[in-house]
Amino acid sequence: MLHAVKITAAALVGASLAVAATAQTALTTTQSTTHAQITTTQSQSRNGAGTSTFVGTTSFSSPTLIPISRFDTSTGILVGARMSVSIPYTMSVSATGTVPASGSGRTVDVTSNVSGSVIIAGTSITTTSFAAAPKCNSGDCLNQSSNNTDSTSGTLSGTATVATANLAALAGSGPGTVNFSTRVNATNTQIVNGSAVTTGFANTSVSLGSTTTASNVYSVSYDYLKFANPSFNSASTVRTATVNFGTRFIDSGTTSQVITLSNIGDGNTAGLAVNSITRSTNNANLTTTLTPISNIAANTGQNFAIGLNPATVGSHSDTFTINTSDYAPGGVGIRNYALTVTASATLLNHASPSFNGSTIETSKTIDFGLVSSRGGPVLQNFQLFNIGDLNSAGLELYQINGPGNSLFTSNISTFLNLAGGGSNNYSVTLNPLNLGIANGIYTFLFRDYAPGVSGGRNYTLTLNLIAQVFDPVPEPATWMSMLFGFGLVGALARRRARTAA
């Protein structure tokens, strides 16, 4: 589950679920097979009198391979293997030669060190080394007999661990086999011929296994871990997540949503490594605190955050791909997993109410000038603008105060949403019923229209109204006053004229 809470990146460094990791223990499966007895012989020779030494190892000629089921990497990760065998063996070395029927100098002396091995994936189990020193003399040199043969027997048994670097030779996807091979080591064989010997022979014979096939047991034990199970849910496999910051104002400040990357499993499950995080757009407004992690143990999780850094207005999105793999160093069959987090946000500028379409103008005066009281109502137009664009909040007019003078009326009313870049046309009407100077003030109260988005602003615009109303035709009483005034002025003028005469 995603939790929409604010959290700092520093608080997330190294944070993980408070769940104790179960000790990791590999599972084991064992494959066994039996095989018929394998016998090989080897003959080395020296021509003429003197000494020859042969150094090296000789392999069985046929058969040499014993198939056994390999580890199937579709079932898990191979992290270890041990071979074991339990088979009887016999080894013998004899000395023979081509010599005259009679006379002296008809001897062949042989010294040899012999062992047998069973090998798989570079790992071997070897018999106890058998040192032999048979000798033929006179008639014994013409044929192999107990007089010129040395032998030993025993059971080749034991267990050997396959080196981690060699595990790949034992594994594959789906059913298949790998092979034991067998080898006899005849080391530093030396033949010393007497003066009358034409050719001296060192004959080595090795038998691995009993004539009873069931007694010849070969086996490999495979240690393996279950695959890791990366998820954004600790109870089930969920490998996609969505972080939607919704619509926010550009000055709303940074925020984060926390996600937990879990490794669902038990004590037989591999760890989980976070190898890299790639992004689809590298949008600077969206961030993450997740970095590569060497190992998230089974039944634990790692918290990280997807953050919003509101720097640029508009719609923003980015897909974070978390590239993970099983953590089982040296293991064979490691899998890769990709998890994705899609993050999105829309960042808005605040609305910008104005009486002017190109600049902020929060106060406007409409002067009707001189208006005749007998001319009837006079109308003046004005506009309201929301300066901005589609990335701006709408503009809501939620209250109108004024005008405080009944001579003025307007067709403006409250509205919900004047989109960024839009405008509305209105008018104010003066009904010149009273003579003299007329004043009025409209106060318009606005706010950002962005439902569900916190951090909106309030705005006030003021419309000032002024007019001077006059009467172009005086009333009768006005006329009498004027006539009286004119007569008085005339009488005074005549009196001044007589006085002057």
Q: 176 and 53 in one domain?
A: yes
Residue entry with tokens 């007089």: 147
The Cα diameter of the chain in Å comes to 204
Write down the pLDDT at residue 22. 52
Can you give the pLDDT at residue 140?
A: 87
Domain boundary among 184, 215, 246: 215
**74, 200: one domain:** yes
Per-residue pLDDT of the chain (501 residues; tens, 9 = 90+): 333 333 333 334 333 443 444 568 999 999 999 999 988 888 899 999 999 998 876 655 555 789 999 999 999 999 999 999 999 999 999 999 999 988 899 999 999 999 889 999 999 999 999 999 999 998 888 877 888 999 999 999 999 999 999 999 999 999 999 999 988 887 789 999 999 999 999 999 899 999 999 999 999 999 999 999 999 999 999 999 999 999 999 999 999 999 999 999 999 999 999 999 999 999 999 999 999 999 999 999 999 999 999 999 999 999 999 999 999 999 999 999 999 999 999 999 999 999 999 999 999 999 999 999 999 999 999 999 999 898 999 999 999 999 999 999 999 999 999 999 999 999 999 999 999 999 999 999 999 999 999 999 999 999 999 999 999 886 555 445 544 544 443 444 455 445 444
What distances in angstroms separate CA 167 from CA 73, 117, 285, one per listed residue?
A: 11, 20, 47
- 8 Å CB contact between 362 and 353: yes
What's the number of domains the chain is made of? 4
296 and 256, same domain (yes or no): yes
Residue 205 is assigned to a structural domain of this protein: yes
Helix (H, G, I), strand (E, B) or coil at 402: coil
Q: Are residues 375 and 402 in the same domain?
A: yes
End-to-end Cα distance, the chain: 116
Q: What is the H or E stretch that residue 22 is in?
A: none
Let me know: does 74 contact 174? Beta carbons within 8 Å. Answer: yes
Single out the residue of 361, 477, 353, 378 nearest to residue 431, CA to CA. 378
Looking at the fold, whether 55 and 193 belong to one and the same domain comes out as yes
- Walk across the sheet containing 336-348 and list its strands: 240-249, 336-348, 314-327, 271-279, 293-296
Same domain (yes/no): 209, 277: no
Check which CATH number belongs to the domain holding 327 and give it.
Answer: 2.60.40.10
Q: Report the DSSP pairing between strands 77-98 and 217-225.
A: antiparallel
> Are residues 65 and 192 both part of a single domain?
yes
For the CA atoms of the chain, what is the radius of gyration? Answer: 53
Same domain, 120 and 64: yes
Beta carbons of 141 and 96 less than 8 angstroms apart: yes
Phi–psi pair at 359, nearest 5 degrees:
-150, 160
Q: How far is CA 278 from the centre of its chain?
A: 7
Expressed as residue numbers, the domain containing 485 is: 472-501
191 and 78 in one domain? yes
User: Are 290 and 433 in the same domain?
Assistant: no
CA 247 to chain centre: 26
Q: Does some domain include residue 317?
A: yes
Among 249, 201, 260, residue whose Cα is nearest residue 45:
201
Residue 270 inside a domain? The answer is yes
Is residue 353 a part of any domain in this protein? no
The reply to whether 425 falls in a domain is yes
Could you tell me if 461 and 497 lie in one domain?
no
SS3 373: coil
pTM for this predicted structure: 0.78
DSSP track, 462-478: EEEEEEEEE-SS--HHH
Q: Are 444 and 464 in contact (CB under 8 A)?
A: no
The pLDDT value recorded for residue 483 is: 45
**Does residue 501 form part of some domain?**
yes
Of the three residues 315, 348, 381, the one that is the final residue of a domain is: 348
Q: Write down the pLDDT at residue 61.
A: 53
Give the 3-state secondary structure of 293-344: EEEECCCEEEEEEEEECCCCCEEEEEEEEEEEEEECCCCECCCEEEEEEEEE
Whether residues 13 and 132 fall in one domain: no
What residues pair up with 431 in beta bridges, in sequence order? none
Q: Tell me which of 348, 372, 405 is where a domain ends.
A: 348
| Residue appearing with tokens 């691995």 | 208
Residue 48, in any domain of the structure: yes
Q: Which two tokens stand for residue 122?
A: 């570079």
Label the pairing between strands 71-72 and 171-172: parallel
**Tokens found for residue 363:** 């106060």
CB 242 within 8 Å of CB 339: no
The one-character DSSP state at 349 is B
Indicate whether 89 belongs to any domain: yes
* Distance separating alpha carbons of residues 244 and 257, to the nearest angstrom: 9
